[in-house]
Structure 1
Amino acid sequence: MKLMWKVILVFMSVLALVFFFTGDFFLSAPASTENTANKLETLAKLDKEVEESSGIEQIPGTNNKYLTHNDAGNKPRLYQINEQGEVEQTYKPDLPNVDWEDLTQDNSGNFYIADTGNNSNKRRELAIYKLKLGNLEQAQAIRFSYEDQDEFPPSKKDRNFDSEAIFWHNNKLYLISKDRGRSETAKVYQLPDQPGKYQAKLIGSIKVKAQITGAAISSNAETIALLSDEKLHIINGFNSVENFYEGELQNISLKEAGQTEGVTFINDNTLMLTSEGGNLYRYSLQTASSATHQ
């Protein structure tokens, strides 16, 4: 019995010594796995004028100025905001706002407003408005329908003809659908960026268990960012933008960010985001410790 107690005392003494010399390591280990560079940074509360921000783009030639807009039920306005969330200028194009859902731009100074909201999948003709901020009266319309839609609306499980996400590349517009039926497939459509009337061409799809609410492309055209409620979906590793949907998909949690709707790249590794509810966020893509792959 005495021998057993001696063994226990020796064992406990060894444990005490190990903890004495390494305790700091064990206590601090969880903090070392936390990647602060990957956290969502809240920059500001947006002005009440843009509490339902649905899209965002950086304004070329400005120092951290952005263009944003509200969605259905609001005036057809574009708002210039700063990183403090303040509205600095309001643009009033003479256009209807049936349901403005996203914003993109080309490399010639044109912005594209996606009047493509289609919650009930009943709209037979949708529109994307092309304009320059310095020449609003010359706005042009790109009108379209989806080449694979023949019911208005389709059955509830097949309602995948709403789009809240758009980006521009190489004279083409890419629209990503919001799968209201099954929340599992984001379809990818392509349109020319010139005014006219078209059928949007279905070119591919992405298996993602989310309803996509925004899209953006990096300036080097190597990364596509898709957005859904409190999630980012990053795609890279593709051969060309025309088949970006074949790239590697990375899902990143944006816990507690709310109803995230607008996204744009401010450089190839940094995103600016907005949410309905009125917040402006910044997010770094350099690391993604909270990501999962599929």
Structure 2
Amino acid sequence: MSKFSAILALVFLQGCAQKPYYGDLTYLGKLPSKLSEVSGIATFDQSRAWVLEDNGNKDIIYAINLEGKLVKEFKVKHAKNNDWEDLAKDKKGNLYIGDFGNNDNDRKNLTIYKLPNPNQEKGSSIPAEKIEFYYPQQKEFPPSKKELLFDAEAFFHWNDHLYIFTKDRSRPYLGKTLVYKVPDKKGTYEARLIGTLNLCNEQHHCSVTGADISKDGKTLALLGYGYLYLIRDFELEHLSFAKISRTYLKHETQMESICFLDDSTLLIADEQSQTKGRNLYSYKLD
């Protein structure tokens, strides 16, 4: 190979080795291979986050640092991962697991597990209490295709209650998110419908896959694949009337996890999908 040809080859290889593009997200790190299906994230401080995986994975919660490295894990006692879809936390330090994934809309064992603060637990396991609930609007299991509105992948905690955002699987797609409320104490409850949101009519982008509320209670963040929905100036009991802003993140992967690191910074994680994802990102609000 001539010297000129070698230089051309080097230039070509350098062009092919450009850094991955993450749009408006800031890449923080690659999650370990054992966490390829992270579906929920929550954090109590700015040094680590807790994550979990969804259906088919272990009954374990994992702590990662803000570079995505695994630093701790707990087996959750008295709990089963039917379809864990999100994590939430309260100001008292409790952590909540949303076992309410319901792709086929046929589950009758919807559960939220309440755990003590995992940052303060020792050993290799952590206890859990059960909060069981049902949707009173669901009459059939499963309902008709046009009423497949009872899957859920997102929730947060505020003032002694948990707020659940359903994921629309209706056919044809309605773009409807139901917002339910249940108490945060052990027991069995009828979830109370407090509102309906219509984010848009594109199923891939408008189905809610994660949610959180800022620590000051002034901002709600909802996640879709590649899109962020922010709600401000709202009343939780009247979310149907809230104004929603939509932001394209310029990076479309299977994003299913979001939480506030502080009142103006979000952490986002995505699942592994072929050669993309399994990353931890941050996003700064305006």
**TM-score interval w.r.t. the shorter chain?**
0.7 to 0.9
Describe how 1:161-172 pairs up with structure 2 within 5 A: 161-172=150-161
2:129 maps to 1:158? no
Counterparts of residues 123-272 of structure 1 (less than 5 Å): 123-132=107-116, 133=118, 134=121, 137-181=126-170, 182-209=173-200, 210-238=206-234, 240-272=235-267
Distance 2:212 2:102 in 1: 20
What amino acid maps onto 1:43 in structure 2? Answer: L
Distance 1:244 1:153 in 2: 27
Equivalence for 2:19: none
TM-score (norm 1): 0.81
TM normalised by structure 2 equals 0.83
Percentage of pairs with the same residue: 40
The structure number with the bigger radius of gyration is 1
Task: Give 1:241 shift.
Answer: 2.7
More helix by share: 1
Report the CA distance between 1:137 and its aligned residue.
4.8
Residues 118-158 of structure 1, C-alpha deviations (whole Å, 9 max, x = no match): 00000012000001122855410000110100010011121
Q: Which position in structure 1 is the counterpart of 2:11? A: none
Work out the CA distance in 2 between the residues paired with 1:77 and 1:271: 23
Report Cα offsets for 1:166-191 as digits up to 9, x if no partner: 00000010000000112411110000
Counterparts in 2 of 1:180 and 1:108: CA distance versus 1, 3 Å? same
- For the 8 Å contact 2:214–2:262, the answer to whether it is kept is yes
Residue 110 of structure 1 pairs with residue 106 of structure 2: no
| Residue type at the aligned position of 2:147 | D
Task: Indicate conservation of the 8 Å contact 2:75/2:126, yes or no.
Answer: no
Indicate conservation of the 8 Å contact 2:219/2:230, yes or no. Answer: yes
1:275 aligns with 2:286: no
Aligned to 2:5: none
Q: Which of 49, 53, 56 does residue 41 from structure 2 map onto?
A: 56
Contact 1:160 1:179 in 2 (8 A): yes
- The one-character-per-residue Cα deviations of 1:76-114 (angstroms, maximum 9, x if unpaired) are 111100121110011111210000000000111110000
The CA deviation string for residues 218-243 of structure 1, in whole angstroms up to 9 with x for no partner, is 011111000111111111111x3332
Which consecutive unaligned segments of at least 5 residues does structure 2 have? 1-22, 201-205, 273-277
* Runs of 5+ consecutive residues of structure 1 not aligned to the other structure: 1-37, 287-294
Q: Is the 8 A contact 2:196 2:239 kept in 1?
A: no
- Cα RMSD of the aligned pairs, angstroms, is 1.4
Equivalent-residue separation in structure 2 for 1:125 and 1:199 (angstroms)? 12
Query: Displacement, 1:248?
Result: 1.3
Q: Give runs of ≥4 in structure 1 deviating > 4 Å.
A: none
Aligned length: 246
